[in-house]
Amino acid sequence: MNKYWYKNAIIYSLDVETFRDSNGDGTGDFKGLKNALPYLSSLGVTCLWLLPIFETPNRDNGYDVKDYYKIDPRLGDLGHFAQLIDAAQEEGIRVIIDLAVNHTSTEHFWFQESRKSKDSKYRDYYIWVDEKPKDAEKNMMAEDGEDSSSWKYDRTAKAYYFHSFYAHQPDLNISNPQVQEEIFRIMHFWLKLGVSGFRIDAAPHMFKERGRMDFDGDPHQIFRNFREFVETQKPDAILLAEVDLDPNQYNKFLGNEDQMHMLFNFYVNNFMYLAFAREEATPLARALQRMPEEITEKEQLATFLRNHDELNLDKLSRNEREEVFKAFAPEENMRIFGRGIRRRLASILGNDRRKMELAHSLLFTLPGTPVLRYGEEIGMGEDLSMEGRSSVRTVMQWANDKNGGFSTAPQDKLIRNVISGGDYGYEKVNVSDQLRDPDSFLTWISKAIDYRKEFPEYGWGRNQIIDTGNPHVLGHFTKSAKGMGVAFHNFSGKEITVELEMKEEDLKDLVDVFGNIRYEKFDPEKPKVRLTPYGYRWMHKKHNFL
């Protein structure tokens, strides 16, 4: 068993309900996903991150949980889940699941009991106050002009409860030891069913003190206890947290090998888009230089281009965000919550193959473990006619076939739209056609994943920026005990040649291994790197003693 598998995994995130429907009812299910495992394995995926799979009223894509011990019946049952885990294991794929325990659905039994009486044992599972605080903070889901308070009056309870997100998602009172105990039990249960860990939803929100919450000592001790518990149950299981904060806060969640194993790198994600918008590498280089020193050999960042939510640009300044909006979401309907873009990557980048390769080449070489989102590998687009974030949650496009091969159900029975017609419709963008085309984006991405696996240095060691002397070109390298991975990316539409100022010992034995074209052989004596418009090159050297 490789306990540190996550340092170099290829993580693929998907929502079971929109991935593949096996029984023709219009909703994706575990059986459908199981049938798709050989495809995922041939793509090079080593770990699936499943968006919430629990019983839910489904008013927030499953992030509103009604019962943590039950599978959403539309997806299958526990038996199907167990079969999926086994089949995935056979394909060498691990499964981690989303755990949203910052809040539950209002339909959860705990909340129903909690609101009934002040004396209920569940009362303090949630955060109640009799008077609405005057300076009530805004909830995360408010559009401008909407009722944005995070306190909602409940007539049954005759009190206000706190909700960080939608009003139907009351926050749990994590400071309550009984709630912590419940979370342990939930984790225990799913670890026994074979998952390799959890994506911890909305992690920083869990520690905010609100209302009558009273943490006994350092609230982060709770995460330390989670880690210890998880590792005791299953030594190779991980916690991957959604921590959407400035990098100077990362070390509050990881760094001492005692809280999270991984954090999503939202900061680098934001500055990558600023770099794309400006066609300049500098914003990204600066963001990379802000990565914490403390990340140890046993911890890791998770790099991603898009996720299932809006492309949340709140790490950028107002002006920077406006620049990105102008470049990538020129119409109001493409924006959401005043901070994000509700489009997919391919359409953001104008379906320009050069830019899509550049973006993914960064995904596979920047420090961290790459996380792909279903459909990115074929360049799926969005459906802006769908409300809110559903625009980027359309069904997977498998083939130029009825409903894009997702389901045999009548189209009006589909859980979400299938994109049809135009540049991103299933007729043009689908797995089956791209699998058969040696020049497709899917074929390219499988190859890029192969290279990433062959040169795991990109996932290890400390990343350093190379001074390329050109604001359009990012150069970076990562050294580990096994070797060194170097990469260059040209963010501009111009051909550029840079001269490298690197130590002679670093340049020695450096060889080209992958790139957008076959470049002339790199000569360490005359260390020049040529890059075509939006071009990229990966170089590598093995340490001699191996």
Q: Does the footprint of ligand GLC cover residue 357 (CB under 6 A)?
A: no
For the bound state, the minimum distance from the C-beta of residue 336 to ligand GLC, rounded and expressed in Å, comes to 12
Q: Does the footprint of ligand GLC cover residue 15 (CB under 6 A)?
A: no
Instruction: Name which of 269 and 463 has its Cβ closer to ligand GLC.
Output: 269
Instruction: Name which of 55 and 309 has its Cβ closer to ligand GLC.
Output: 309
CB 200 within 8 A of CB 242: yes
Quote the DSSP letter at residue 44.
T
**Helix (H/G/I), strand (E/B), else coil: 418:** coil
Stretch that binds ligand GLC, among 16-24, 58-66, 122-130, 535-543 (CB under 6 A): 58-66
Q: Does the footprint of ligand GLC cover residue 171 (CB under 6 A)?
A: no
Task: For 100-158, list the strands marked E by DSSP.
Answer: 128-129, 151-154
In DSSP notation, 452-486 reads: HHH-GGGGSSEEEEE--S-TTEEEEEEE-SSEEEE
Choice from 15, 17, 55, 60 touching ligand GLC (CB under 6 A): 60
For the bound state, the minimum distance from the C-beta of residue 142 to ligand GLC, rounded and expressed in Å, comes to 13
Q: Does the footprint of ligand GLC cover residue 50 (CB under 6 A)?
A: no
Please, what is the end-to-end C-alpha distance for the chain in angstroms?
22
For the bound state, the minimum distance from the C-beta of residue 140 to ligand GLC, rounded and expressed in Å, comes to 7
Choice from 15, 29, 201, 231 touching ligand GLC (CB under 6 A): 201
Place of tokens 């000569």: 523
For the bound state, the minimum distance from the C-beta of residue 518 to ligand GLC, rounded and expressed in Å, comes to 40
Nearest to 172 by CA among 192, 142, 200: 200
Q: Return the HEC string of 334-397.
A: HEECCCEECCCHHHHCCCCHHHHHHHHHHHHHCCCEEEEECCHHHCCCCCCCCCHHHHHCCCCC
Choice from 12, 165, 264, 534 touching ligand GLC (CB under 6 A): 165
Let me know if 86 is a catalytic residue: no
Number of residues that bind ligand GLC (CB under 6 A): 10
Choice from 12, 19, 49, 63 touching ligand GLC (CB under 6 A): 63
Choice from 100, 305, 349, 366 touching ligand GLC (CB under 6 A): 100
**Cβ atoms within 10 Å of 337's Cβ, excluding its own:** 17
Pattern of binders to ligand GLC over 121-160, x per CB under 6 A? Answer: ----------------------------------------
Let me know if 201 is a catalytic residue: yes
> What is d(CA 457, CA 461) in angstroms, rounded to the nearest whole number?
7
Distances (CA, A) of 468 to 275, 425, 490, 522: 16, 40, 11, 15
Q: Which positions touch ligand GLC (CB under 6 A)? A: 60-61, 63, 100, 165, 201-202, 242, 308-309
**Hey, which residues are catalytic here?**
201, 242
